[in-house]
Amino acid sequence: MKKTAIFLIAICTHLVVFSQGNNYVQNYKKFEGLALTPPMGWNSWNKFACNVDEKLIRETADAMVSSGMKAAGYTYINIDDCWHGDRDSLGFIHADSKRFPSGIKALADYIHSKGLKIGIYSDAGSQTCGGRPGSRGYEFQDAQTYAKWGIDYLKYDWCNTEGLKAEGAYKTITAALRKAGRPIVLSICEWGNDKPWIWGQSVGHLWRTTGDIYNCFDCIEDHGTWKSWGVMQILDKQEGLRQYAGPGHWNDPDMLEVGNGMVINQDRAHFAMWAMIAAPLIAGNDLRKMSKQTIDILTNKEVIAINQDKLGVQGFKFSTKDSVETWFKPLEGDSWAVTFLNRSKTPKNIEFDWKNTTVDDALSKRSLNGNTITYKVRNVWTKKDEGSTKSKLKAIVPGQDVLMLVLKK
């Protein structure tokens, strides 16, 4: 009996110790319930790079409201690189006092007062891409600071990360955010080098699939050791990734260049395709100085509805003929978005026979069969109804432009 009692005490002691040890296991799971549709907002980098300050961010928040972008669904005002000042003697990060004299907390309060949310930027390495203090070794302190400031979104970059493994580094910042306790959307920005779509679904809410976009419709900018990619080059790099995206975890082909200098048809095609592939819609232009054409593109609620569809299925390329790609995206309610993308510089005639074409999508387990079901056809750019699938579609798609339709029963 005595030996049995000693044995039971030993087991209980072991279990207590083991249980106590488990208290120190990190939670590497992202906050659930966030980004159930692709995030919509604005980021400072594409237009302003390191030239950010408090005045710009406040004015951008004002413009997001006054332009109608907030009403269209845009939520986040994201400050990218170069907001950082120094760390104090305890290692806590502070904003650059010259650029942000009121501090980030006051700025967050202002943005929240507008009914918007605020995002911040950091880096998994020792320095950000702009040479400011990175979060390496300070992850938990930075997460506490962001929570204290009221941050809602963190873009976490991948410069100066010598010796780090991406999955581990992003799990560390996720654990830090969880420990800090404030639900924050985590944008994984390691450029797709370590295939974040494979491991990122439980760690972050979106992940970059490529290097940086730049303001060109169909070209590559070679920087020597790295490249920037045009809109079409970025689009091509999304092939094979759609199965990894869905509510709460999105492929991110980088921010929008709409309003940054491309012509209107290119901007329209860019926005349409980002909607089709369920990409985050993060504007990268100067919201304070937008043309009516730019506003009309960015606030087209029918196109945005395709992007924000609750089914959360990324669109796919169905066919290519004479430089015109045909894309389909299943939508909730047995509806479909269909986009004809003309990649050439010259107008193209298209003809599509709905009755003799069946579209099967194994991912969503959905089929479009115009022979058995008649759909109403809606042009989401002209905002006009255009008959039904009883008749063949015949149209001209201008050069580097789109014809974008929604089919409903």
Which stretches in the chain have pLDDT values below 70? 1-23
- Report how far residue 70's alpha carbon sits from residue 283's, in angstroms, rounded to the nearest whole number: 12
pLDDT at 173: 98
Tell me which of 80, 212, 252, 361 is the catalytic residue.
Answer: 212
Q: Report residue 228 as tokens.
A: 């920037």
Other C-beta atoms lying within 10 Å of the C-beta of residue 206: 26
- Report how far residue 402's alpha carbon sits from residue 265's, in angstroms, rounded to the nearest whole number: 8
157 is catalytic: yes
401 is catalytic: no
Q: Report residue 9 as tokens.
A: 């005490």
pTM value? 0.93
Digit-coded pLDDT (tens) for 107-119: 999 999 999 999 9
Digit-coded pLDDT (tens) for 10-48: 444 444 444 445 567 899 999 999 999 999 999 999 999
Other C-beta atoms lying within 10 Å of the C-beta of residue 141: 17
pLDDT at 17: 41
pLDDT at 22: 56
Other C-beta atoms lying within 10 Å of the C-beta of residue 103: 15
- Report how far residue 336's alpha carbon sits from residue 339's, in angstroms, rounded to the nearest whole number: 10
Structural domains of the chain, ranges and CATH numbers in brackets: 40-307 (3.20.20.70), 316-408 (2.60.40.1180)
Can you list the alpha helix ranges (DSSP code H) found in 49-161? 54-66, 69-72, 103-113, 139-149
Amino acid in the structure at residue 317: K
Tell me which of 80, 81, 123, 157 is the catalytic residue.
Answer: 157
The string of DSSP letters for 202-245 reads: GT-SEEE-SS-B-S-SS-EEE-SSSEEE-HHHHHHTTTT-GGG-
Digit-coded pLDDT (tens) for 198-241: 999 999 999 999 999 999 999 999 999 999 999 999 999 999 99
Residues 6+ apart with CB under 8 A from 66: none
Angle, in degrees to the nearest 10, between helices 54-66 and 103-113: 10
Residues 6+ apart with CB under 8 A from 29: 174, 178, 202, 203
Compute φ and ψ for 100, nearest 5 degrees: -130, 70
Strand ranges for 220-323 from DSSP E: 220-222, 227-229, 250-252, 281-283, 316-321
pLDDT at 264: 98
Q: Which of 279, 271, 291, 268 is nearest to 237 (CA)?
A: 279
> Are the C-beta atoms of residues 323 and 382 closer than 8 Å to each other?
no
pLDDT at 11: 45
